[in-house]
Each structure stands twice: as structure tokens, then as C-alpha cells.
């Protein structure tokens, strides 16, 4: 069985022997009436847990629209035009609107990247800026001790509208909702304080109530004040098939429930070998982002199995501290011990990878130098087919193989180990 996998801006093809192939995990079928910008417009007219946007914003107010950075697949270029149309219809001048890219701990954008994210028309008529973590406003501390330090254009706006796409997050439960504020509009110190709760057993994919990371995020956002959200769910072709608008928590929960119907996929049993890709750019720009697919794949592989992680990583590892952790320990288990006594942002991703390495071997198919990948405890490849051939040699000609072509989205659940 030949399967095509997204890889950067290109693809890689693997040929899985028929006796081994246990299927490719795809989203479940759901019926949708509207897609794209039409679905966004529908959501704006049907807010959840909130008054209509026109009753919330007022002429003369400064509006901050917080949206995702280049490492996220959020289609801001498709969401923003209907939103701006609605704001203009409500009497808001475009001069009073600022689009703020929620960088979190990620690198700044180039102007060309900002333009690409929002589209030429929006970029030409609305101010678009990166959040600057060197210029923040302190708004307090959460009950768990996380400082609420927010980039100034967001903190000082009269109204805040948060955009985002909803997908599974390996310790915050789901992306979207209040995450545009924390970590999106927050400082590295604040993010580090929040993310340290990832080691809690209640911090995992698809879990919200009682998840300390998510609860801390939403407390911080409440202290800032989020007036309205507009979140979307994308299918495997990155089309908008669901939009939710309104209250930062209520609308988000409806979006999460829809995501579950789409991407929670039951499998008969775990496989000896799991081949997983993020689906290509931008989700596999670096190893920091590719890790999300790895964390979903761990639910589909047998203990002692092999995960073939496919992602171009054209920008390398994507985070300096993450790289220091990945290259600065003698064994994967040392990273887990280290994070438990000294939580560091960047190190948290390394520790998450190390946990998977404790249950399965990881073959990394990327553009990274083989010696560099090997220094981080991966078995390195440039070809997914070569990696699969070696995995089958290791596990046997009849080893079971599952493929996850959109590994950052699909969350498998096995009936049997």
C-alpha cells in the first residue's frame, strides 16, 4: 500500500507491505453545511454564551485582534475579512483595529510572513504587529503563581478579540480559546510558570476540567479580559469546516466537542510500527512543532515499538533552550529527571520527547544532519521508505504498521494494546 505523506512543502511516499498495513488514520466523517469564510460569517451571527459582537464593541474604542503566528495553521487570511466586515458594520474604524500576532516564545515574523498570514488586503488596510515581550503590562498573578504580563497593545486595548484554531494539545487539552492570551500574548517567564504544570497527571490531550495548565490559562485570560473569540476547526485539507464565536470559554468548549467528533479515532489495537507526519508545512517547520505529532502517535504504538516521525524541520529545532536540552543530556531519561527538579520552557518539549523514547524507538525522517539527529537519541533518515524498511527488518516482515498522515490532529484510542 502506497501512502503519501506531507513533508515540508513537498511529500514523501512510503510503500507498506499489504500484510503489514493496518490502515491510515483519518478524521471521522462529519456532515458540514458551510465551509470557509461562509462558516465564519455564520458563527459571527450566532455567538455562543455571548451578546452579538455589535453589542460589545463601540465606535472610538481601540480593538486588539489577537491571532496565531506562523507556526500555527490558523487561516487568519480567511477569518479576518468577515470579522473586519462585521466590525466596520458596527461602526469601528479600521484605524482603531490592530492585529497582534501571538508569538508566545516563538521568533518574530518578517514583514512578508505577516502579510502572508493575514493576506494582502488585510495587511494593507489594518495595522499588523508582532507582540513584543520586552514591552508588557503586569496585570497580577494567578492563584497558581503565574505572572500575568501581557504585551502592551493587547493589555491596553479597550476590547480584545481572540482568534485561533482548535486542535489537540498534549498538555493544555486543546489549543484555541484563551491560549491566544496565555501563552500567546505573554512573556517567556509567564509561559514557563504556566507550562510547569505539564508534569501533572491531569495535563493531557483532550482533558479540560481539572487540567491545571488549562485552568491557569483561563484564569490569566479572565484577568486580562477577553471580549470575544472566533475559533475554527480545520479538516485534513486545512479547510474551515466549523467556526465558533462568542464567550472565551463557552464557545471554545463547543468547538472542542466538535473536534472530538472529528478527530478522536478508535483503533482495534496498537501497532508495532507507527509512521506519523504533521502533514507538511507549516506544522513541521521545526522539531519543536513536530513534537505534537509524536505525542499523538504514542497512543497508537505498542510498548517497545517503533515510531517513524516524518517532518522536514527546515528551520532546525526551533527553540534555543529546547536544543540545549536535546543535545545536553547523556540519556533521554536524564531529561525527565531534569524537568522534574528544574522546569524550563523549551526543556518541557525535550522531556515530552524523552518520555516517548522510553516506550518506543524513534526514527526521525528530516532535513537535519544525521549526526545531529543521532546526538539527540533519534535514528536519523532522509527517506521515509528507508526508515520503514529498517523498521520492518527490526520488527519482522509481518509487523503491523499504522500510518498517521496528519498526526498533530488525529488522536487515536486503542481497544487493545
Is-cis flag, bond preceding 92, omega within 30? no
Stretch 211-229: mean pLDDT: 98
What confidence tens digit (pLDDT) does each residue in 2-35 have? 999 999 999 999 999 999 999 999 999 999 999 9
Indicate whether 417 pLDDT > 60: no
Indicate whether 340 pLDDT > 90: no
| 188 alpha carbon, distance to own chain's centre | 17
pLDDT at 184: 95
DSSP labels for 356-381?
HHTTEEEEEESSS-HHHHHHTT-EEE
CB 16 within 8 A of CB 403: yes
Stretch 332-343: mean pLDDT: 91
What confidence tens digit (pLDDT) does each residue in 35-86 have? 999 999 999 999 999 999 999 999 999 999 999 998 888 999 999 999 999 9
Rounding to the nearest 10 degrees, give the CA dihedral for residues 377, 381, 382, 385: -140
Stretch 261-285: mean pLDDT: 94
Indicate whether 150 pLDDT > 60: yes
Stretch 260-275: mean pLDDT: 96
Q: How many helices (H) and strands (E) does the chain have?
A: 15, 20
CA distances from 48 to 229, 240, 241, 243, 397 (A): 10, 18, 17, 11, 52
* Prediction pTM value: 0.84
CB 229 within 8 A of CB 374: no
Share of the chain above pLDDT 90, in %: 89
| 320 alpha carbon, distance to own chain's centre | 19
SS3 label, residue 411: strand
CB 347 within 8 A of CB 339: yes
pLDDT at 408: 83
DSSP labels for 134-161?
TSEEEEEE-TTS-EEEEEHHHHT-SEEE
- Look at the alpha carbons of 263, 265, 270, 275 in this order and tell me if their dihedral is positive or negative: negative
SS3 label, residue 413: strand
| Continuous segment of H or E residues that includes residue 39 | helix 36-45
d(CA 390, CA 369): 19
Share of the chain above pLDDT 70, in %: 100
| Continuous segment of H or E residues that includes residue 7 | strand 2-7
What confidence tens digit (pLDDT) does each residue in 277-312 have? 999 998 899 999 999 899 999 999 999 999 999 999
Cα Rg of the chain (Å, integer): 21
CA distances from 86 to 44, 101, 200 (A): 8, 20, 41
Strand 379-381 versus strand 136-141 pairing type: unpaired
Q: How confident is the model at residue 345 (pLDDT cuts 50, 70, 90)?
A: confident
SS3 label, residue 6: strand
Strands (E), 166-263: 168-169, 173-174, 228-234, 240-246
CA distances from 313 to 174, 284, 290, 346, 348 (A): 23, 6, 8, 16, 19
SS3 label, residue 16: coil
Question: Residue 93 CB: number of other CB atoms within 10 A?
Answer: 12
Give which of 362, 275, 366 is closest to 315, Cα–Cα: 366
What confidence tens digit (pLDDT) does each residue in 349-372 have? 999 999 999 999 999 999 999 999
List all residues 6 or more positions away from 129 whose beta carbon is below 8 Å from its beta carbon.
98, 99, 100, 101, 153
Give which of 275, 34, 62, 69 is closest to 164, Cα–Cα: 69
Q: What is the pLDDT of the chain when averaged over all its residues?
A: 95
Amino acid at each position: 500500500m502506497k501512502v503519501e505523506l506531507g513533508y515540508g512543502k513537498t511529500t514523501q511516499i512510503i510503500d507498506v507491505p499489504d500484510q503489514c498495513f493496518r490502515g491510515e488514520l483519518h478524521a471521522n466523517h462529519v456532515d458540514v453545511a458551510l465551509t470557509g469564510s461562509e462558516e465564519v460569517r455564520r458563527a459571527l451571527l450566532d455567538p455562543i454564551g455571548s451578546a452579538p459582537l455589535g453589542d460589545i464593541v463601540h465606535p472610538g474604542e481601540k480593538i486588539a485582534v489577537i491571532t496565531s503566528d506562523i507556526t500555527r495553521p490558523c487561516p487568519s487570511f480567511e477569518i479576518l475579512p468577515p470579522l473586519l466586515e462585521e466590525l466596520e458594520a458596527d461602526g469601528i474604524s479600521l484605524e482603531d483595529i490592530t492585529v497582534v500576532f501571538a508569538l508566545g516564545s516563538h521568533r518574530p515574523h518578517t514583514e512578508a510572513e505577516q502579510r502572508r498570514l493575514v493576506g494582502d488586503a488585510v495587511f494593507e488596510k489594518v495595522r499588523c504587529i508582532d507582540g513584543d515581550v520586552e514591552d508588557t503590562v503586569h496585570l497580577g498573578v494567578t492563584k497558581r503563581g503565574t505572572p500575568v504580563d501581557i504585551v502592551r497593545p493587547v493589555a491596553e486595548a479597550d476590547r480584545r478579540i481572540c482568534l485561533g484554531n482548535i486542535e489537540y494539545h498534549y498538555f493544555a487539552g486543546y489549543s484555541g480559546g484563551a491560549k491566544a492570551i496565555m501563552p500567546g500574548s505573554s512573556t517567556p517567564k509567564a509561559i514557563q510558570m504556566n507550562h510547569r504544570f505539564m508534569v501533572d497527571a491531569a495535563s493531557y490531550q483532550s482533558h479540560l476540567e481539572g487540567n491545571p495548565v488549562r485552568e491557569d490559562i483561563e484564569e490569566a485570560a479572565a484577568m486580562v479580559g477577553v471580549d470575544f473569540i472566533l475559533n475554527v476547526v480545520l479538516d485534513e485539507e486545512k479547510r474551515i469546516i466549523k467556526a465558533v464565536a462568542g464567550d472565551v470559554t463557552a464557545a471554545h468548549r463547543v468547538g472542542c466537542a466538535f473536534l472530538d467528533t472529528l478527530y478522536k479515532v478508535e483503533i482495534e489495537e496498537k501497532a508495532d510500527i507507527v509512521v506519523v507526519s504533521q502533514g507538511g508545512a507549516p506544522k513541521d517547520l521545526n522539531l519543536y512543532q513536530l513534537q505534537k505529532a509524536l505525542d499523538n502517535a504514542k497512543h497508537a504504538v505498542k510498548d517497545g515499538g517503533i515510531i517513524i516521525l516524518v517532518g522536514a524541520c527546515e528551520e532546525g529545532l526551533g527553540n534555543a533552550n529546547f536544543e540545549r536540552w536535546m543535545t545536553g543530556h547523556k540519556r533521554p531519561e536524564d531529561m525527565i529527571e531534569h524537568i522534574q527538579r528544574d522546569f524550563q520552557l523549551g526543556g518541557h518539549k525535550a522531556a515530552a520527547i524523552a518520555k516517548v523514547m522510553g516506550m518506543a524507538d524513534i526514527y526521525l525522517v528530516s532535513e537535519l544532519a544525521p549526526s545531529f539527529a543521532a546526538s539527540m537519541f533519534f535514528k536519523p533518515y532522509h527517506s521515509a521508505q528507508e526508515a520503514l524498511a529498517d523498521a520492518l527488518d527490526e520488527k519482522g516482515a509481518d509487523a503491523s504498521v499504522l500510518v498517521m498522515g496528519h498526526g498533530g490532529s488525529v488522536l487515536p484510542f486503542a481497544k487493545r494494546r
